[in-house]
Chain A
Amino acid sequence: MTPMTIVSREPAALPAKPILGLDARLWRRAAWALLAITALGLPFVASGYHLFQFSQVLIYAIALIGLNLLTGYNGQISLGHGAFFAIGGYTTAILVTKLGVPYWATLPVAGAICFVAGFLFGLPALRLGGLYLALATFALAVATPQLLNYKGFDAWTGGSQGLLLSKPYAPFALPLSPDQWLYFFCLACAALFFWAAANLVRGRIGRAIVAIRDHPIAAETMGVNISFYKAMCFGVSALYAGVAGALAAIVVGFVSPDSFGLFLSLSFLVGIVVGGLASIWGVLFGALFIEFIPNYADQLSDLFGESAKALPGAIYGVLLIGLMYVMPGGVAGALRSAPRLFSRLFSRAKHG
């Protein structure tokens, strides 16, 4: 088995060299504060549709962390995470429309079902090497819309018509519009899942799953239970995707087989590659990217006419290959090496 070395590695610690006279830690804190202010202030600046888009960014970000845990950190390639996203979405839609469960209570259920589904899919996946796993998950991604369309489940899934959900209002008489409320709801979920993932990869489990990726034999010798961690990783990853799918069903208010095709699964792959493999924070960039690029491409349809439909795919394709050439660490990798680059630049300037 070839060792799956992946380009970006966790930095031991950011170099504490001062940049522009400020400590690196201070820079980091400033970035955090900026991020928090932007995230909290956004709903009061952005209008309805834009806010909806940002909610979707948060949702994609959750799904991308899940995929990145599996693919970036653990080295198991999944081209079919759209399927788990679909399971989550349909779980919520069915619970809300058919059984009258309140929307917020469906999230744990969707997560749990996806965890089990992911764990079960992860068991046979244990025996599949990188390439074969990619193959099986690719087939899963292509088959998903067909399965959702299956006539036998029509009574539950609504067939090709899909299911419609009504938009929830803000609880406790909070002075928020439904869009604003949903944004905050997604933000809270995203924050929780980011925090959990960041903790997960920093700890013992995180080291174990990275070790399995980089050198399975060595990891096993060190006492890491490979099958357990791999299957668990698949389960947790599917849980993330499932919760994201459930949130998407709530925010969009609609699920149908066509929304969970191959393109969605491949978008997730694009997202983690753009953001940076094996990076938790990078997925934010990836999520922004996969939300807004197809949108902007749509706006260019005046320029290109009907063929603008091809634009997102073309951009994705070129970027996937191009990034592998020049920036295999994605945005996160580039940012990670930026401080070192800057400090080198400035110190050189001083000496010269």
Chain B
Amino acid sequence: MTAFAHQLFSGLAMGGIYAILALALVMIYQATHLVNFAQGEMAMFSTYIAWDLIDRGMPYWAAFALTIVVSFLGGMAIERLVIRPFANAPVLTIIIVFIGLLLIFNSVAGWQYSYTIKTFDSPFPARSWFGNSFMSSHESGAILVTFAVLALVYAFFRFTPLGLAMRAAAQNPASSRLVGIRVGWMLAIGWGLAAAIGSVAGMMAAPIDYLDPNMMLGILIYAFAGAVLGGIDNPWGAAFGGFAVGVLENIAGAYFVGPEIKLSVALLIIIGVLVARPSGLFGRMLVTRV
């Protein structure tokens, strides 16, 4: 039983990380109806920036904040410079561009920081919290950070004028433009936010999975699975899906399929959900008029 609880809680901690990344995916999906295949690699690159800053002697939380800001600006720049010219291109073209971004980030990280695995320290104290013996302090911390991110995102979209404008721009670009919302910039901010949120996922994952240019690939697949499971157009659904996939993956890895083929669980979830219930658990059913 203890072992099971252990698996459950560490699944929840990883699930939190998947949930954050899934949230980043949903952010871009809602605005453009595209899934950003480079999201994981962008997060990985942000994590390297954080590592670099800490390596230069910056205190952890300052580096954390600065990385989020840099990622936000970087995400906006990518949208403006790389993605914008393809705004009306067919899906295939845009996916090819995403894959291009993925390859570029991966290889630039390898180039800059080498392919050797680096350790990334956790900001949380080594002693586990609240006498919880099932989780390491980093795992509890990661879950707390996940909830903080979710709360902040909720507050941003619910209570700020900018959040309202972004929701409007995603829902009805033409009308939004008529009432004076700059839809193009809302898209850019959406990319910036996604990159910033993704960077948090990267920084939470690095102490667990270590830092190397390919660290986010598996995490991205789980985040995909989470987003698809919860409904890719519903942020809360996607966050729930992330947690669910984390727990499922850990328990399946420990008791059913063995840890070495855990990724196939994500593959099965993705295909199963898409076939049985394409809108996910909490997604809106999309009806297309032909």
Contacts and interface: CB of A to CB of B under 8 A. Distances in A.
A306 interface: yes
Contacts of A140: 267
Most buried by B among A132, A309, A316: A132
A314 B92 CA distance: 20
Given A143-B221, A310-B108, A314-B108, A132 B258 contact: no
Contacts of A309: 110, 115
Interface in A292-328: 306-307, 309-314, 316-321, 324-325, 328
Interface stretch (B95-103, B193-201, B204-212, B233-241): B95-103
A262 B96 CA distance: 14
A161 to B, nearest CB: 14
Interface string B96-132: 1101111111111011001100000000000000000
A131 B263 CA distance: 20
A317 B104 contact: yes
A248 interface: no
A151 B258 CA distance: 9
Interface string A56-95: 0000000000000001000101010000000000000000
Contacts of B285: none
Given A127-B278, A143-B267, A313-B107, A321 B95 contact: no
Most buried by A among B82, B110, B290: B110
Nearest to A140: B267
B95 A324 contact: no
B107 A310 contact: yes
B270 A135 contact: yes
Interface residues of A, number: 53
A320 B37 CA distance: 14
Contact of B261 (A71, A75, A147): A147
Contacts of A75: 92
Interface in B209-257: 217-218, 221, 224-225, 228
Contact of A136 (B33, B264, B271): B271
Given A127-B274, A139-B224, A307-B111, A320 B264 contact: no
B95 A311 contact: no
Interface in A93-117: none
A86 B43 CA distance: 30
A19 interface: no
Contact of B114 (A1, A217, A306, A317): A306
B12 interface: no
Contacts, number: 156
A321 B263 contact: no
A124 interface: yes
Nearest to A134: B95
A25 B186 CA distance: 53
A70 B32 CA distance: 25
B85 interface: yes
Interface string A238-281: 00000000000000000000000010001001000100010000
B86 to A, nearest CB: 7
Interface in B123-145: none
A71 B108 CA distance: 28
Contact of B107 (A7, A127, A311): A311
28 contacts: A2-B90, A4-B91, A6-B90, A77-B91, A130-B91, A130-B92, A131-B91, A132-B228, A135-B270, A136-B270, A138-B221, A139-B225, A142-B221, A142-B263, A146-B260, A147-B261, A147-B264, A150-B258, A277-B92, A309-B110, A311-B111, A314-B107, A317-B101, A317-B102, A317-B105, A318-B104, A320-B97, A324-B86
Given A266-B102, A313-B107, 14 more contacts: A4-B92, A77-B91, A127-B275, A139-B224, A143-B264, A147-B261, A307-B111, A310-B115, A311-B107, A314-B103, A314-B104, A320-B99, A324-B89, A324-B97
Interface of A: 1-2, 4-7, 71, 75, 77, 79, 124, 127-132, 134-136, 138-140, 142-143, 146-147, 149-151, 217, 262, 266, 269, 273, 277, 306-307, 309-314, 316-321, 324-325, 328
